[in-house]
């Protein structure tokens, strides 16, 4: 795989933050934030499609992967500051910031809190706000994990993550995601769920002034296209790229299209 050995940064509160870099000296820099309950390996196929035309940094968000555990409460602003700490550790002043689902919400918060460090923004399959029922809905999901374990949530995830045709053609992709999902620390997962239920960045993202491309699967039932359209309406100059027929985790289902979009926005040199 293109990513080098795991590195460890420290968040402001001392928590360990694991990340890895796919080096490409002199190329544009892209920071990648994974979705809820997965980890930085979520981006492996996108990285393979990018093929060294950009330097990539993929981190494990707090409570996920090889990063330290955090039972919360965890505001989205803290998750955004974690990325700043990782960039500091890596010696990166700025980067194009891309995130999917939870990672997309964190990317939005990062662009608000650290505007000078964000050269461009790509939120994927995500939202600035899940709606008025979100605190209850996300609280219920957290409680189910706490009471019944992560396996109890898998049928729900399978209905949302990937399109039926892709699942049938690539069972290994779903199986790899399942393994990461099931390995989650339940308390950290619950904290991240509750963070998403409380997050409301609708007003804040109107201040974003970097080039922004919002991507979404047209069949995404978790963060439907209407949520992507709302982000586009609120960020001046933002554009929308729908991915026809895809569901919620388009970096797994459509890595080549995600990679091409990132390279265009980053201004990378074509092959």
pLDDT for res 270 = 56
pLDDT for res 77 = 98
Whether the predicted pLDDT of 56 surpasses 70: yes
φ, ψ for residue 127, nearest 5 deg: -155, 160
- Tens of pLDDT along 189-234? 999 999 999 999 999 999 999 999 999 999 999 999 999 999 999 9
Banded pLDDT at 81 (limits 50, 70, 90)? very high
Over residues 172-181, the mean pLDDT reads 98
Which pair of tokens denotes residue 36?
């809820």
pLDDT for res 159 = 95
φ, ψ for residue 22, nearest 5 deg: -100, 100
pLDDT for res 269 = 60
pLDDT for res 22 = 98
**Is the CB of residue 99 less than 8 Å from the CB of residue 106?**
yes
**Is the CB of residue 58 less than 8 Å from the CB of residue 86?**
no
Banded pLDDT at 106 (limits 50, 70, 90)? very high
pLDDT for res 2 = 83
Percent of the chain with pLDDT strictly greater than 70 = 98
Q: What is the DSSP secondary structure assignment for residue 13, as one 8-state letter?
A: T
Whether the predicted pLDDT of 43 surpasses 70: yes
How far apart CA 1 and CA 223 sit, in angstroms, is 30
Which pair of tokens denotes residue 45?
């196929």
Q: What share of the chain is helix, strand, coil (3-state, %, to 5)?
A: 50, 15, 35
**Is the CB of residue 98 less than 8 Å from the CB of residue 46?**
no
Domains located in the chain, CATH noted: 7-266 (3.40.50.1820)
- Tens of pLDDT along 3-27? 989 999 999 999 999 999 999 999 9
Sign, CA dihedral 205-76-228-213, equals: positive
Q: What is the mean pLDDT of the chain?
A: 97
């Amino acid at each position: 795989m293109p990513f080098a050995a795991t590195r460890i940064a420290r968040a402001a509160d001392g928590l360990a933050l694991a990340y890895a870099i796919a080096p490409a000296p002199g190329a544009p820099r892209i920071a990648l934030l994974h979705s809820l309950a997965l980890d930085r390996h979520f981006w492996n196929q996108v990285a393979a499609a990018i093929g060294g035309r950009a330097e990539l940094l993929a981190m494990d968000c707090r409570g996920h992967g090889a990063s330290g555990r955090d039972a919360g409460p965890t505001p989205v602003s803290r998750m955004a500051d974690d990325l700043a700490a990782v960039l500091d550790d890596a010696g990166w002043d700025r980067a194009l910031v891309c995130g999917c689902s939870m990672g997309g919400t964190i990317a939005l918060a990062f662009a608000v809190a650290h505007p000078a460090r964000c050269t461009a923004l790509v939120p994927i399959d995500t939202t600035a706000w899940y709606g008025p029922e979100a605190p209850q809905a996300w609280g219920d999901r957290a409680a189910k994990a706490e009471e019944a374990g992560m396996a109890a949530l898998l049928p729900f995830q399978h209905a949302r993550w990937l399109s039926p045709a892709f699942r049938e053609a690539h069972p290994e992709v779903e199986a790899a995601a399942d393994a990461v999902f099931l390995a989650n620390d339940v308390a950290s997962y619950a904290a991240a769920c509750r963070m998403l239920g409380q997050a409301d960045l609708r007003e804040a993202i109107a201040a974003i002034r970097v080039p922004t491309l919002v991507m979404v699967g047209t069949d995404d039932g978790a963060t439907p296209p209407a949520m992507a359209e709302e982000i586009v309406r609120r960020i001046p100059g933002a554009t929308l790229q729908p991915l026809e027929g895809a569901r919620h985790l388009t970096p797994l289902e459509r890595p080549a299209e995600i990679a091409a979009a990132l390279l265009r926005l980053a201004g990378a040199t074509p092959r």
